[in-house]
Structure 1
Amino acid sequence: MEKTEKRVILITGATKGLGLADAIRLSKDDNNIVIVNSHRELSDDENKELQANFDNEIEVLTGDVASEDDAKAMIDSIVDKYGKIDVLVNNAGITQDTLLTRMKADSFKQVLNTNLFGAFNMTKFAMKKMQRARKGSIINMSSIAGLHGNLGQANYSSTKAGLVGLTKTTAQEGSLRGIRCNAVAPGMIKTAMTDKLSDKNIKSWEEKIPSGRFGNPDEVAQVVEFLIDNEYMNGQVITVDGGLTM
């Protein structure tokens, strides 16, 4: 076991998008050991592309958060190697959008399993380790879709709303042992997901957003970093949406 005084951080679903932005920002702090999770083994080319975002090589942990066995194995491997886990960012998420009346049950279940059940799995096993240390921080990546719903996203919105409830309960239970839990609810952020929108759709959204633009992933990562560092923040859901939901 390699015991370390540095802060050990695991970010799920962090090989791209918001999770990758979190990893890039947090890895700039020399006091952090950042571990990124991928649901599958990366090819050599994919790994090179990922590593190119960082000054030093970053650890990639493979496992499906929707699998209870994988979740336990990932947390155990981190604690076996470093002696602890200080921060968990539950970022892994998928979408399978369509109108509710056209949505297949399997589609609802798959999104539920990754986005919500996956966060439950990771939180459960991370909390057990954090409780022994009597400290820790857990951050759940929710969405404004979980606060207000969104057309064609009955499955996604339900999971993101569920994460708010999970956050509140985790914060209450975790506070008994010095563990904090907060959530971030991004709005329209420039990612591969929003890149699929038509120019007309993008313009329509920008007209609704008081700030007049989509956010960038690092602006979300800044809030994640703040929630990790501020030890008096607990049980909160912070929207990062340019004022869209004010």
Structure 2
Amino acid sequence: MDKKIVFITGVSRGIGLEIAKCFSNNGYFVLGTSRSDFDLAKVLSSDECLHIQLNVTDRNQISACLDQLKEIDKVPNVLINNAGITKDQLFLRMKNEDWDDVIETNLTSVFNMSKLFIKSMVKERSGSIINISSVAGLMGNAGQVNYSASKAGLGGFTRALAKEVAARNITVNCIAPGFIETDMTDHFQDKDLENILNQIPANKMGNPQHIADLALFLASSKGNYITGQTISVDGGLFMS
């Protein structure tokens, strides 16, 4: 691809931030979003980036975002849907809003953002959409009915959209991380961590760089014959 502009949601920490660093280091102009203000240029040590304060569930904000990008000629050809939340609870105790908020943020936002950029990708006959899913969407997790459902939904979304746009040279894939060392896993107690590691054949947690490297490959010309796939990065935790 001659044009190297990537749009990453949920860029202020964890996997999203590592993806931003990886793409920035490989010559991409990075557009990154988060709900709060964030100095992306400082973190990346680069001016070839732009942070956009954006709620990926607010369609009015999203529409305004596209107008902004058109004005500066930075409409992306790579979209990485990374933003996500958890609101864990046993199903019998799960509140309606816990379900609604997780589905809206983790699944509906992917529809919102993909809808925003798919027309320009089709027009240019080039593009890549990468959805950050989770192993929870493949194997389920007790206490995460909402989260698991939202991530499983990404798999169906990915496969269906991939079939629609493959002839236009657009790839659509999912990455399903397992247990990755981020601030979201820092709260694990030693006993909890031991139980987790006992379930992973590799006997170790992954790191965000594993996810970023795969995302970069899928977005590159080297990955342009891979589409409609959900690729697990989990040390062997889930094997289909």
Q: Is the 8 A contact 2:90 2:143 kept in 1?
A: yes
* Secondary structure at the counterpart of residue 194 of structure 1: coil
The separation in 1 between residues aligned to 2:67 and 2:121, in whole angstroms, is 12
- 2:175 maps to 1:184: yes
Deviation at 1:81, TM superposition (A): 1.6
The answer as to whether partners of 1:134 and 1:178 remain within 8 angstroms in 2 is yes
The AA in structure 2 aligned to 1:27 is: S
**Match among 204, 226, 232 for residue 213 of structure 1:** 204
User: For residues 81 and 51 of structure 1, do their structure 2 counterparts lie closer, same or farther at Cα, with a shift above 3 Å needed?
Assistant: closer
Q: Which residue of 2 aligns with 1:35?
A: 31
Paired residue type of 1:239: S
TM-score of the aligned structures, taking structure 1 as reference length:
0.91
Out of 4, 8, 29, the residue aligned to residue 7 of structure 1 is 4
Q: 1:51 to 1:84 in 2, by over 3 A?
A: closer
Amino acid at match of 2:170: I
The 5 A counterparts of 1:126-141 are 126-141=117-132
The corresponding residue for 2:44 is 54
**1:235 counterpart (210, 228, 232):** 228
Q: Give the distance between the partners of 1:21 and 1:121, measured in 2 at CA.
A: 23
- Which whole-Å CA distance do the structure 2 matches of 1:132 and 1:190 have between them? 39
Select 1:201's aligned residue among 173, 192, 195. 192
Q: Which moved more, 1:68-77 or 1:174-183?
A: 68-77
Return structure 1 stretches of 4+ with deviation > 6 angstroms: none
* Structure 1 gaps, min length 5: none
Following superposition, the deviation at residue 75 of structure 1 comes to: 3.0
The offset of 1:83, in angstroms, is: 5.3
Residue segments in structure 2 that go unaligned for 5+ positions in a row: none
Q: Is the 8 A contact 2:133 2:154 kept in 1?
A: yes
| SS of equivalent to 1:139 | strand
Q: Which residue of 2 aligns with 1:174?
A: 165
Spell out, residue by residue over 1:69-93, the C-alpha distance to the aligned partner (whole angstroms, 9 max, x if none): 2222223322332253210000000
Q: Which moved more, 1:61-70 or 1:20-29?
A: 61-70
Normalization by structure 2: what TM-score?
0.93
What corresponds to 1:87 in structure 2?
78
1:120-131 to 2 correspondence within 5 Å? Answer: 120-131=111-122
Deviation of 1:52 (Å): 4.1
Deviations 1:63-116 (A, max 9, x none): 111112222222332233225321000000000101011000011000111100
**Paired letter, 1:167:** T
How many angstroms apart in 1 are the aligned matches of 2:214 and 2:228?
14
Identity %: 40
Distance 1:8 1:80 in 2: 15
AA matched with 2:230: V
- State yes or no: 1:21 paired with 2:5: no
CA RMSD across the alignment: 1.4
Aligned pairs, how many?
235
3-state SS of paired residue (1:69): helix
Distance 1:83 1:53 in 2: 20
Q: Report the AA paired with residue 232 of structure 1.
A: Y
